[in-house]
Amino acid sequence: MKTITHWIGGKPVEGTSGRYGVVYDPATGAQDKQVAFATVDEVDAAVASAKAAFESWGVSSLAKRTAILFKYRELLDAHRDEIAELITAEHGKVHSDALGEVARGMEIVELACGISVQLKGELSTQVSTRVDVASIRQPLGVVAGITPFNFPAMVPMWMFPLAIATGNTFVLKPSEKDPSASFRLAELASEAGLPDGVLNIVQGDKVAVDRILEHPDIEAVSFVGSTPIAKYIQLKAVEHGKRVQALGGAKNHMLVLPDADLDFAADQAINAAYGSAGERCMAVSVVVAVGDTGDELVAKIAERAGKLRIGPGNDPASEMGPLITREHRDKVASYVKSAAEQGAEVVVDGTGYSVEGHPECADGFFLGVSLLDRVPLAADAYKDEIFGPVLVVVRADSYDEAIKLINDSRWGNGTAIFTRDGGAARRFQLEVKAGMVGVNVPIPVPVGYHSFGGWKDSLFGDLHVYGNDGIAFYTQGKVITTRWPDPADAGINLGFPSHS
């Protein structure tokens, strides 16, 4: 059985803890790999390697950094199929979806390639007689990232390319459920010429996470995951004096007004709810049907849901793959049952699904898609982040009722409105309490040069990831005031400095 190890100081490092995590193929349910869990000493070794590398990397030229990043982007492009295959094998998402994940991660590498422009400082000359003031940004030192299972390549690439481009060194703790993609990213970075120790990976569980949060040589921590863990990360990191950005969970609403193109809206609801088996924090999990649109819209979504092809991610015919683990599949399925008990109408029941034509998938972690209509706001299926292929529909009599419903949610990650009315769309984007808003776009994940992040219980910390916020997070500002006296000047003046 293959063991996935740590990556420390530019090379693989075998684990010594004797503790391992199981890595499944979700399509078959078989364990074909294991991942070594780090000890505290192994985390310390990774941090020590990063700290040593920072001495030279932090003062390296922007030209050197960008040359490596351009080469890295080239290697990622050449190996994108290979990385996507690793994602499919361990996460389960279909190959085309995995390729899209790699492409979106590469957007941040491309942003990092232009870091010489992003790090240009500011200069004000002659603010006083022969006095100039300059603002610059400098790296923090050793920074860390803790990333989730649902995007094992993209989310790490949201973090470390910008961190190293700005002169920091990085320690990554990826998900133990699908660790191979991030390990391959580190190998390719080394092949691109990244100096040893600039990027390190420690595999593991809470032992590794807690040591990262406590380690005195780590200056900042980035996290993407569930809301309870995001809260924990923020509190513990801040307690130990670290800068932190922690992105939590979501319950993303898609508001459909009566004037919307319902066929288009139904198509987009299917794509946004069931893509990647619903295991993404920007998935649409609630459709808010306004006025008399509900019955027709639900019928259109149900018709499309019944035609989805669910199967192993390496089958080109599959449109949706399995969930990440058996336990998670069963938890997601339990929400469909409880919703019926709590007053919802189960229009499409995806529980008990089995894949046809693939006998090797008999024990895979598959779940069909479910559609729940007229879901009470008190039902668990509405209140909780399900993180699976379950779409909830609620009804609202008016736009005002719908916007209140969305704004009352404790989450504020992403949201969307479907309408032909420009005035309603403009009002929505200003009034809705969420960090990312789509107008006729169901999953409004920003491009790399804008920042990703939500509001309320979807974000803990002040800055979003990547884009300008990401660059600000991984750097600290410094203001320099200088005066170069004219040689003809002389004398002593004990008065308070003035701008004259």
pLDDT in tens, 153-175: 999 999 999 999 999 999 999 99
pLDDT score recorded for residue 474: 98
What digits encode the pLDDT tens for the residues 270-298?
999 999 999 999 999 999 999 999 999 99
Q: Which two tokens stand for residue 181?
A: 């993609």
Whether the CB-CB separation of 195 and 8 falls below 8 Å is answered with no
Write the DSSP symbol of residue 447.
P
* Phi-psi domain of 271 (left: phi exceeds 0; alpha: psi -120 through 50; beta: other): alpha
Tell me the three state secondary structure of residue 321: coil
Sequence-distant (6+) residues with CB within 8 A of 42 are: 6, 8, 13, 15, 16, 17, 202, 208
Residue range 386-406: average pLDDT?
Answer: 98
Residue range 368-392: average pLDDT?
Answer: 98
Question: Which of the residues are catalytic?
Answer: 281
Whether the CB-CB separation of 132 and 441 falls below 8 Å is answered with no
What digits encode the pLDDT tens for the residues 244-261?
999 999 999 999 999 999
pLDDT score recorded for residue 492: 72
Residue range 220-230: average pLDDT?
Answer: 97
Specify the pTM.
0.95
pLDDT score recorded for residue 159: 98
Partners of 394 in the β-ladder: 288
Sequence-distant (6+) residues with CB within 8 A of 38 are: 6, 15, 17, 46, 202, 203, 204, 207, 208, 211
Q: Given a cut of 80, is residue 498 above it in pLDDT?
A: no
Q: Given a cut of 70, is residue 103 above it in pLDDT?
A: yes
- CA 325 – CA 172 distance, rounded (Å): 23
Q: Given a cut of 80, is residue 84 above it in pLDDT?
A: yes
pLDDT score recorded for residue 499: 59
pLDDT score recorded for residue 95: 97
Residue range 62-90: average pLDDT?
Answer: 98
- Report residue 32's pLDDT band, with 50, 70 and 90 as the boundaries: confident
Please identify which residue in the block is written with the tokens 């690439």.
Answer: 157
Q: In what order do the strands lie in the sheet with 142-146?
A: 11-13, 6-8, 199-201, 169-173, 142-146, 218-224, 243-247, 459-460
Q: Given a cut of 90, is residue 487 above it in pLDDT?
A: no
Write the DSSP symbol of residue 449.
T
- CA 223 – CA 357 distance, rounded (Å): 39
In the predicted model, what is the mean pLDDT of the chain? 96
pLDDT score recorded for residue 489: 67
Q: Given a cut of 60, is residue 500 above it in pLDDT?
A: no
Give percent of the chain above pLDDT 70.
Answer: 98
**Which phi and psi angles does 316 have, rounded to 5°?**
-60, -20
